[in-house]
């Protein structure tokens, strides 16, 4: 779009004249922001979409309240629909970096200018002249950056969780559940403190993983619900200046209709304009869930380590060559991707937490980085959850021979003896077996505590993975 077209036009704003790319839909204020904030990178387009939805719904609301003519309202709605339906066409029209003014004014005006110019074009006007539709007077009518930016952030977060994160976590949960059922009868060594412990089934181990993700999903859904309360209509400081009574209700009803999600007017706009607690809570739950996935990934890569000189109880799918120098090597690449995503999400959560706590009076001036960070966390967790499910969990196999070997060597089977011969004698059996590199059965017989038959009657791994039946 604009940046790809040679030539410039001259626009004038309250500061003076400035050159803008000739065919760009953005205008003077966007151009000044591009020149003044050469810091970092622009917002992902998915963060622009909620803002376009707000402008569309504002045009509908202002027309409904007779503040905007049908001609101008229809032109704004047309412009918004064209952007929403053809995002690739407008990919260069939103160039402002995340690191801008803390309120997000530059992004709001960027959106206002693009929508206004597209609406003017529809009505036969010229780019940058705003003969029919003005960015502030019409597109931004009844709004402020201070209520639209937090509203856009909340809408964007809810849409991303609903459309991307929840489905991805359900895919992962289902994959873990399938493995839990498939591995149900495979008895293996349990491990605590990275040391051998009493037996567990591989299915039980994976059931724990599935439960972690399922419960994390519930917490994320609950946090997402809190984000459906919107501060739109608060305008500059929460008072609703320059709006008509009922504007907020109409806006929220139109936003709900547009998105298919049940949004509500928040109970206190002063809170949501100055506080970012709802987003901070969502971010925390995403961090917790990514931590669960990190623990699962670490367990799996440890259980798959080797394969010959390690634990080797799990076999990872061979998705790609693991080494540039060692032929035939298979590395836990999906697990490591999970580890890195977790590290990034921790950083994003810290950013959001710090930013949310540093608002002043009626405004939080960290909004753009909060919006960027929550979106990145949602996207990363969704993508890595689905990737880990499809490329690691689904193709995961159990090496039952290795699992049996490790189980048979485990000294913690001795725990089954404690109720019969006592803790002290059981410990003595285990220590002797370890010291002399003999089996528990041989140790118990040598010490004269149990016969081979008595040992076999007491030490049954299949009876050690659940409470004893009464």
Q: Which two tokens stand for residue 71?
A: 């001609």
Which is the catalytic residue, given 3, 19, 323, 451?
Answer: 323
What lies within 8 Å, CB to CB, of 38 at 6+ separation is: 97
Nearest-angstrom CA–CA distance, 76 and 137: 12
Q: Which two tokens stand for residue 16?
A: 């003076």
What lies within 8 Å, CB to CB, of 211 at 6+ separation is: none
Exposure pattern of 216-229 as b/e (b: 16+ CB <10 Å)? bbebbeebbeebbb
Which is the catalytic residue, given 193, 253, 284, 466?
Answer: 193
Decide if 193 is catalytic.
yes
Beta bridge partners of residue 8, listed in sequence order:
21
Residue that the structure tokens 């929403």 belong to: 84
Up-side HSE of residue 80: CA atoms within 13 Å toward CB? Answer: 23
Nearest-angstrom CA–CA distance, 375 and 47: 8
Q: Is 24 in contact with 1 (CB distance < 8 Å)? A: yes
- CA angle 47–236–360, rounded 5-degree value: 85
Decide if 138 is catalytic.
no
Nearest-angstrom CA–CA distance, 41 and 27: 19
Beta bridge partners of residue 231, listed in sequence order:
none
Cite the active site residues: 193, 323
């Amino acid at each position: 779009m604009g940046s790809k077209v040679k030539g410039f036009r001259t626009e004038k704003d309250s500061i003076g004249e400035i050159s803008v790319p000739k065919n760009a839909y953005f205008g003077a204020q966007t151009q000044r922001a591009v020149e003044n904030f050469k810091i970092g990178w622009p917002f992902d387009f998915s963060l622009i979409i909620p803002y376009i939805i707000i402008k569309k719904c504002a045009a509908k609301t202002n027309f409904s309240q007779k503040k905007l003519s049908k001609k101008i309202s229809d032109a704004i709605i047309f412009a918004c629909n064209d952007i929403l339906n053809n995002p690739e066409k407008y990919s260069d029209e939103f160039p402002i970096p995340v690191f801008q003014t803390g309120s997000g004014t530059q992004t709001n005006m960027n959106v206002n200018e693009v929508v206004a110019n597209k609406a003017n074009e529809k009505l036969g006007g010229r780019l940058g002249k705003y003969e029919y539709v003005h960015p502030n007077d019409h597109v931004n009518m009844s709004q402020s950056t201070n209520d639209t930016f937090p509203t856009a952030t909340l809408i964007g977060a809810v849409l991303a969780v609903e459309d991307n994160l929840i489905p991805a976590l359900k895919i992962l949960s289902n994959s873990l559940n399938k493995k839990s059922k498939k591995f149900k009868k495979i008895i293996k060594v349990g491990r605590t403190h990275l040391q051998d412990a009493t037996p567990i089934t591989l299915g039980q181990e994976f059931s724990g993983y599935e439960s972690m993700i399922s419960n994390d999903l519930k917490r994320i859904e609950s946090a997402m619900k809190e984000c459906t309360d919107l501060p739109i209509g608060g305008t500059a400081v929460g008072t609703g200046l320059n709006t008509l009574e009922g504007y907020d209700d109409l806006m929220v009803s139109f936003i709900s209709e547009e998105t298919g999600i049940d949004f509500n007017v928040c109970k206190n706009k002063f809170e949501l304009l100055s506080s970012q607690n709802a987003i901070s809570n969502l971010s925390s739950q995403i961090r917790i869930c990514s931590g669960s996935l990190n623990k699962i990934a670490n367990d799996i890569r440890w259980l798959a380590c080797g394969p010959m000189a390690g634990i080797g109880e799990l076999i990872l799918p061979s998705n790609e060559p693991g080494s540039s120098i060692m032929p035939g090597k298979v590395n836990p690449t999906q697990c490591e991707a999970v580890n890195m995503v977790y590290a990034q999400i921790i950083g994003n959560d810290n950013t959001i937490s710090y930013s949310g706590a540093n608002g002043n009076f009626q405004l939080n001036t960290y909004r753009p980085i909060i919006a960027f960070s929550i979106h990145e966390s949602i996207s990363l967790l969704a993508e890595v959850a689905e990737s880990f499910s499809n490329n690691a969990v689904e193709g995961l196999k159990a090496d039952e021979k290795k699992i049996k070997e490790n189980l048979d060597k485990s000294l913690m089977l001795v725990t089954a003896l404690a109720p019969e011969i006592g803790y002290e004698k059981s410990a003595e059996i285990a220590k002797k077996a370890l010291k002399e590199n003999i089996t528990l059965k041989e140790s118990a017989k040598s010490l004269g505590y149990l016969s081979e038959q008595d040992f076999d009657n007491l030490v049954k791994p299949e009876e050690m993975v659940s409470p004893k039946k009464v």
